[in-house]
Amino acid sequence: MATSLNVIALISGGKDSFFSILHCLANGHRLVALANLHPPENGDEDINSFMYQTVGASLIPLYSQALDVPLYRQEIRGSAVIHDRDYQEEEDDETEDLVPLLRKVMEQHPEANAVSTGAILSTYQRTRVESVALRLGLTPLSFLWQYPFLPPYLQSSLLSDMHAVGQHSKIIKVASGGLDESFLGENVADPKTVGRMKKALGRFSENGDGALVGEGGEFETLVVDGPSLLWKRKLEIQGEGEVVHQEGGTATWKASAKVVEKDLDTISLEDSLQELRKPPTFDDEFVQVLQSQLETPNPTRLPETQSNSITLPTTRHSQHAHTLIFSNLTGFSRPCSTYSGPSNPSIKLQLTNIFLRLTRLLESYQTFPSHITHCTLLLRDMRDFTSINALYAQFFAFTNPPSRVTVAVGDTLPAGIDVMLTAIAHPTGQRTGLHVQSQSYWAPANIGPYSQAISVLLRGGGGGGDGRGREVHIAGQIPLDPASMTLHTKDGFKGEAALALQHLFRIGRTQGVKWWTAGVAMIPSSADAQMHDGRVGLAQAVWTAAHARRETEDEDEDDGEAVDVWDRKNFSKAFDDTVGRASMPDYGIFDRRGHAGLRAPPCVVVEVDALPRYASVEWACTGLDVVSLRQSSGSTSLQGVKEFTVRHPEGRFEYRVVEIPDGEVDIAEVLSRMEYGTLYASAQGDWSDERWVKTGISWVPCKRVWGEDGRELRGVIVGGR
């Protein structure tokens, strides 16, 4: 069940902060206070802060009376010291003015445990609020995050939703983008105003840039009224006001206002919130997945054997071009059998030793923890997850920590080992990250010490956004409802697998991912073999359906707006209201001559002991942002071994998935197909040959492993060369 939070709402007077409050209420939270940062009393009201809207600041005190909620204010004393998109604490930065403000509120309202913001597309704003909120123990809420990129995928959807619930926000500043002073004083959500804005912005805006909602500073607003469930009174503008012209075509409307009574609705809070549209849980393509009859493979099973723990694989550090891999790190520098018995070191001590070893290894390559891009953390028991997370966070205490996949593998870990870590590092830099820590409708927040995604340059190039191509490491995704951070259970396992995969796709889209090297679905053990096998098949079917090629047709939509004949005659650029979601996957990156034989990336399903939150499924993938790929798949010259490959047309990089069947195989030949990778090793298989464990390849010991078409395997290697 979702937790009800007591929310401090950060307000600027603008439309987004107040609309976000409505979504807090709709999600079962309680508003306890308003908080605002204002410019110095004797200075200019509009200080052009990178972080805060200050135009209209003189009217902010009226909101306490209008909403019947206490208001707390603090003067802005700092300035923008940190100009980077992502934020790390800096004493003199204007962001830090939030700290005394929120502390003052928390002293008066000790029950407060969350803070709300109206961030839509601004990572700059969101990361700064998150930094302060989490330091103070507050849960950040950003229900408007990526709002235009959620169904129905229109920039105007936010304004339409504001209009539907009666939020009235007047435009009080225009700053470029084709908007002139004639827009001042207009209700930004009124359909007529929206139509005029589209026409004016068409010449200047780009598809999906957020101009229509003011994300580029095109305009600023002042909310004067809204639904009675929040607004007990309203603001009434006095007189005509004054238009002040500034440099660069900027114009500001300054007016006085007072609080007046309004006719209050008699409908209940619950009925009022029914009018507030929440974005649907699933994107259009995943609705199709849920509604379709999936072709589900029937998994095979190897003969039952005594499942024992796997021999401890070799800890090894290796370098491949500009990639460093530190595989299978444990807390032991000598054979773990030495420590067996009741005196076995605690898991915290084991993890401490792992980080000491990792630090020394990084130093030997003259690199640092901040160069690590991705970690695989294996636990014996998922009950240890919370206790070691704090220790893990101390080691990765920097902006955009590595993405991470965490699973519990039970007794398939070697005896005495309670935790094992593999880390991938890219010391050459040019590392970018996505670390959203706010609850929203978009994708689950990563409150923990790991990012949703870390993107690095491909070792051989490949032509991504900067001409080089990028490899995107994404954190494991489980079926959490993003808004509540509770497990989604409404649509059975099919819905759970689809939602977790959708999280992966949404994160991938923000990072420019066009193709996955492979999909790995991890599912927990179950005593019900029939149900378990059904989930293996469903996971693979959901993966395949999500990768179906869909033909999209541009349809002319009549939105009821008048067409200006002069505009059409003189070829004025029309405003594109859609946000232009990138194709996922993008089959256009493959040589068109081979399109007929293209297939989805391979999907591997592995059985482990348990997943975070004891979820039913977790997806793990690495994405590619490239402009060109080639694909091959099929049987190899080795008996029963199958291989799936994507590569750069000129051979600059190559990613492979190798399926290892039960029975005799040429171990040396199998291993020669990879320079690096992760071996998902089934406890049903025979790994006694020391060549398997001495390669230094990263291991994930599993109870069982399935490959293409549900074929149970000894193991699968996902990697490259």
pLDDT, tens digit (0-9, with 9 covering 90-100), for 645-672: 998 887 788 999 999 998 888 888 888 8
Please give the share of the chain, as a percent, with pLDDT higher than 70: 89
How confident is the model over 392-409, as a mean pLDDT?
A: 96
Q: What residues have CB less than 8 Å from 341, skipping those under 6 apart?
A: none
Give the C-alpha separation, 627 to 589, whole Å. 5
Q: What residues have CB less than 8 Å from 674, skipping those under 6 apart?
A: 656, 658, 697, 717, 719, 720, 721
pLDDT in tens, 181-200: 999 999 999 999 999 999 99
pLDDT in tens, 127-140: 999 999 999 999 99
How confident is the model at residue 467, as a pLDDT? 55
Confidence of residue 640 (pLDDT cuts 50, 70, 90): confident
Largest CA-CA distance found in the chain, in angstroms, rounded? 88
How confident is the model at residue 54, as a pLDDT? 80
Give the C-alpha separation, 392 to 395, whole Å. 6
DSSP string for residues in 674-705: -SEEEEEEETTS---SHHHHTS--EEEEESEE
Write down the pTM of the prediction.
0.92
Q: What residues have CB less than 8 Å from 595, skipping those under 6 apart?
A: 587
Q: How is residue 180 written in tokens?
A: 């002139």
Q: How is residue 679 written in tokens?
A: 């071996």
HSE-CB for 237 with a 13 A CA cutoff? 21
CA distances to 168, 255, 433 from 233, rounded to whole Å, are: 13, 19, 43
DSSP string for residues in 633-687: EEE-SSTT-EEEEEE-TTSS-EEEEEEE-SS---HHHHHHT-SEEEEEEETTS--
How confident is the model at residue 343, as a pLDDT? 61
pLDDT in tens, 603-616: 999 999 999 999 99
**Number of CB atoms found within 10 A of residue 136's CB:** 17
Residues 243 and 184: beta-carbon distance below 8 Å: yes
Q: Locate tokens 């098949």: which residue?
A: 537
DSSP string for residues in 396-461: T-SSSPPEEEEEE-GGGSPTT--EEEEEEE-TT---EEE---SB-SSS----SSS-SEEEEE-TT-
Give the C-alpha separation, 310 to 673, whole Å. 22
Q: What is the SS3 assignment for 719?
A: strand
Sign of torsion over alpha carbons 73, 74, 76, 80: negative
Q: What residues have CB less than 8 Å from 343, skipping those under 6 apart?
A: none
Q: Bigger pLDDT: 221 or 696?
A: 221
How confident is the model at residue 335, as a pLDDT? 47
- Res. 556: pLDDT tops 70: no
Report residue 88 CA to chain centroid gap. 19
How confident is the model at residue 468, as a pLDDT? 67
Of these ranges, 149-158, 464-473, 578-587, 690-699, the one predicted with the greatest mean pLDDT is 149-158
Q: In this predicted structure, which of 112-116, 241-245, 591-595, 703-707 has the lowest mean pLDDT?
A: 591-595
Q: Which domains does the chain have, with CATH numbers?
A: 1-145 (3.40.50.620), 157-262 (3.90.1490.10), 316-548+600-720 (3.30.1330.40)
DSSP string for residues in 162-213: HHHTT-EEEEEEE-STT--GGGTT-BTTSHHHHHHHHHHHTTT--TTSSGGG
- Res. 1: pLDDT tops 50: yes
Q: What residues have CB less than 8 Å from 130, skipping those under 6 apart?
A: 140, 437, 438
pLDDT in tens, 90-137: 788 888 899 999 999 999 999 999 999 999 999 999 999 999 999 999
Look over the chain and give the mean of its residue pLDDT values, rounded to a whole number: 88
Helix (H) or strand (E) holding 621: strand 618-625
679, 621, 658, 167: which is closest to 422 by C-alpha? 679
From first CA to last CA, the distance across the chain in angstroms is: 46
How confident is the model over 359-380, as a mean pLDDT?
A: 96
How confident is the model at residue 571, as a pLDDT? 41
Give the C-alpha separation, 176 to 48, whole Å. 14
Q: In this predicted structure, which of 8-22, 374-388, 505-519, 646-660 has the lowest mean pLDDT?
A: 646-660
